[in-house]
A and B are shown apart, each in its own frame.
Chain A
């Protein structure tokens, strides 16, 4: 296992779907002891219809307390399956494990006089198909970590990102995926600000890395890639760039490289502004947002509009890239890492054929004004409200949603999570909600056209 440790299959429980029927317990007892005595089931549903149901079941913890407290080494974590194995030959029946477990996942089986616990039926748990309401599922929450954990982390530890920033996570995961045969371009912005290219002769990266200009990332990277192609060496040319450089001053070189179908992977980390240099507006900044150059004030701004944040809608850079007919274009979010990983794989593959573009929404705790522990939540709310849509495009299959949100939350659920929208008037909120609906309709239409 790598530095992440293992992540394994697990039995997931949706309390909203459970009616307490007990079919899972019957199935478990039948499978494990041969009789349908629910008292002997290793899965226990507790609670009531009024108060809701809860699950008493072994979580197969990564840091299991039962194993720690066992004086006889009868419980061990199986690193292959992830299951905590109980060894009856060693067990001294002290029951300390039943006290140690916080989930009531291991208990005395009166029928045998020993403790009993879930062993996932060797990967085919009997309880899961027995549930008539699909309240139980046997899933992998994070298989990606198993393989990624074995790959080298190509960023130095201790990079200087803001507290609570997802971009460091994104950088580490992306480079793990692309591997050491990568040349990395990190134009001025948060990524080099974190130390990717280092300071005064140091480096934050174990692959060759450079500062392009803010304006020429795609062009410089194309030159690198072309020369390796010419001499027959397989090298991945990767940019991790900010939205400002990509959508504003560096857009010409980005568009030119995409039009020439240069074989590079261009990832934009979209935190909707020039956050590294003091939170100024970019063309990816959304309507109404406070930035240090679209401040909130008492007076009227340009054109007689009140100074209440940005007065224009965001440029939709990923859709513009679709119109370059790139080999691959996708949007992603740091709150949906499996979706992001799937797209990263496709983008890497596409970059061997031509231009691949990945647009990752990455909330900025500092610039968007929200608590540092809320980053994933903000990112998630952006998707759940359809403020951000997750889709992918390739020329053969067109555009399609990868995580469609059919029943979105009102956009206020997203806006209220951040200080940068604190000042919004009802009119401004209704403008933003209208734009969310309009953008959704627009992308849906593109998806529809692509299918036809």
Chain B
């Protein structure tokens, strides 16, 4: 057993990097190539398609040395990768929406088998109503399945996080699959300037690959992978309990590892991203709005404008959604008196956004009551503009003096 430690010293100054203009899907593909997976399995689906097309082209052009499996559907895509990972392969795929739904059976099992597969979710709203446009409903629907899920804000963050995801997933204290979520349409097709890390620097960052040290299908060390467990008592269910508890421990460990990996990334490559929770102009704020993913750009602009107008408002952005960063979020929530949470998906059970629902659990731990409310916007591709965020800011500000509404605010309902 080896431990995932730094194999080369961190340079004191980041190396100069190539500058490119790419869409988010291509940035993800470039990140995948730099992480050197052994196996990539693909099945196209809008708005993920150009991502796997870029991966296929990189391999066809000899710029990426990976076995590519054009599987007949997402269910097999993830299944092929499970087999590959059990044989020691570093593995990658991408999907979204209906593809993720079709993949659910092996998806649930990936985290249970502790396979460090990395998968981008190019987020798409849930059907039906039929739509091929962006929204977080797909990723949110599977937030309770034991995968680490991180959401990106920019194209550069997509590229960098895709590489970091492999290191997080394969860390021996984690050994869990990771979803890198990038917003369909806004990040998948949004074109930005990016800096492309050098291969040798990424190799040094990644260290040695050791994917199946814990569970393997290998004639050199034969074992039964995933034998039956359970029963009404005794060793059967207790074995199951130990597996599950280990999964939960791995999830909690990932919070620390995500922070460590982001810190190392910043040192090696000179780009710093808040690993769990980002605070934007929160110091001195009376209240805050909370965001996730690419909407944060417009939200920050709105915050700047509101601050210029004298409003004491700040922003909290979640990057790591699963596991939910309770401790980090508590620190931020401790600074404010009211909160408005903007979700790009719905939670059918609580009649609010899923991130709002999760945050309510954190608010309970705060030990004091702060009023809060849920906003739902950006469904089915709708743009959440600074105008929408000004409405969010105004409504949240009112919470300081008026009772909080129970109903969520649907931002794009009357656009």
Contacts and interface: CB of A to CB of B under 8 A. Distances in A.
A252 interface: yes
A227 B39 contact: yes
Contact of B75 (A206, A208, A216, A228): A216
A351 to B, nearest CB: 15
A357 B218 CA distance: 23
A134 B337 CA distance: 103
A332 to B, nearest CB: 25
A213 B106 contact: yes
Nearest to A224: B83
Q: Bin chain A's interface residue count.
A: 35 or more
Given A207-B219, A253-B76, A260 B70 contact: yes
Contacts of B89: 223, 226-227, 230
Given A219-B75, A226-B67, A197 B83 contact: no
Contacts of A216: 75-76, 79, 82, 105-106
Nearest to B76: A219
A260 B87 contact: no
Contacts of A206: 222
B82 A220 contact: yes
Contacts of B84: 223-224, 226-227
B216 interface: yes
A210 interface: yes
A392 to B, nearest CB: 26
A202 B67 contact: no
Tell me which of A182, A202, A208, A212 has the highest count of chain B C-beta atoms within 10 A of its own C-beta. A208
Contact of A197 (B80, B81, B228): B228
Given A219-B83, A224-B83, A200 B219 contact: no
B284 to A, nearest CB: 53
B217 interface: yes
Contact of B39 (A202, A203, A221, A226): A226
Given A206-B222, A208-B225, A231-B88, A220 B39 contact: no
A337 B42 CA distance: 41
A251 to B, nearest CB: 11
Contacts, number: 156
Interface string A186-207: 0000001000011111111111
Interface in A135-183: 180-183
Contact of A215 (B67, B75, B224, B225): B75
Q: Which of B38, B226, B236 has the most CB of A within 10 A?
A: B226
A256 B72 CA distance: 5
A215 B39 CA distance: 21
Interface in A242-256: 252-253, 255-256
A356 interface: no
B73 interface: yes
A235 interface: yes
A207 B222 contact: yes
A180 B228 contact: no
B3 interface: no
A357 to B, nearest CB: 16
A223 B217 CA distance: 11
B64 to A, nearest CB: 14
A203 B224 contact: yes
Nearest to A230: B67
B69 A226 contact: yes
B219 A180 contact: yes
A358 interface: no
A210 B219 contact: no
A259 interface: yes
Nearest to A220: B83
Contacts of A182: 219
B219 A235 contact: yes
B72 A252 contact: yes
B266 interface: no
A345 to B, nearest CB: 20
B248 interface: no
A224 B86 contact: yes
B235 interface: yes
Contacts of A209: 222, 224-225
A220 B110 CA distance: 12
Interface string B191-225: 00000000000000000000000001111011111
A216 B239 CA distance: 25
B227 interface: yes
Contact of B223 (A208, A224, A260): A208
Nearest to B212: A227
B219 A259 contact: no
Q: Which among A192, A223, A255 has the greatest number of chain B C-beta atoms within 10 A?
A: A223
A159 to B, nearest CB: 13
Nearest to A180: B219
Closest 3 CB pairs of A and B: A223-B83, A256-B72, A203-B224
20 contacts: A180-B222, A197-B226, A200-B228, A200-B231, A201-B235, A207-B219, A209-B224, A209-B225, A213-B79, A219-B76, A219-B83, A220-B82, A223-B86, A226-B80, A227-B67, A227-B83, A235-B219, A252-B76, A253-B79, A260-B70
Given A199-B236, A225-B83, A252-B72, 18 more contacts: A199-B228, A200-B239, A201-B227, A201-B229, A206-B222, A208-B225, A210-B225, A211-B226, A219-B75, A219-B76, A219-B80, A220-B86, A223-B82, A223-B83, A223-B86, A226-B80, A227-B67, A259-B72
Interface of B: 38-39, 41, 67, 69-73, 75-77, 79-89, 91, 105-106, 109, 216-219, 221-229, 231, 235-236, 239
Interface of A: 180-183, 192, 197-213, 215-216, 218-228, 230-231, 235, 252-253, 255-257, 259-260
